[in-house]
Amino acid sequence: MDDNKSQPMGQTDIAVLREKGISGPEILDTLISNSKTFTQKTEFSQEKYLKKKVRAYGDSLLFVKPTLKVIADYNFRVDPVKIM
């Protein structure tokens, strides 16, 4: 039963950790240690939880070959008025 009380850390707490410069794996460790139900979950559920949190808070980079479309999309996201 999900009552949204098993994880006391919220988005603001995680944002504060990121501002302090804490890396993704350390944030994941903090989330796991603060979770009240992580140890009660099955092994499959624990892996599923970790994959979900790695996608959300893990450090990942995606290298994209610079094309005209990629550059235009980036500039539009940064300053749409400038591109207009």
pLDDT tens digits, residue range 22-60? 888 888 888 888 888 888 889 998 899 889 888 887 777
The whole-model pTM stands at 0.56
* Number of residues assigned to the chain: 84
pLDDT, residue 35, reads 83
Number of domains observed in the structure of the chain: 1
Residue 56 within any structural domain of the chain: yes
H helices, E strands: number in the chain = 5, 0
DSSP string, 33-56: HH-SSGGGS-HHHHHHHHHHHHHH
Domain of 32 in residue numbering reads as 11-83
- Residue 80: which pLDDT band, with cuts at 50, 70 and 90? confident
CA dist., res. 28 & res. 18, Å (int)? 12
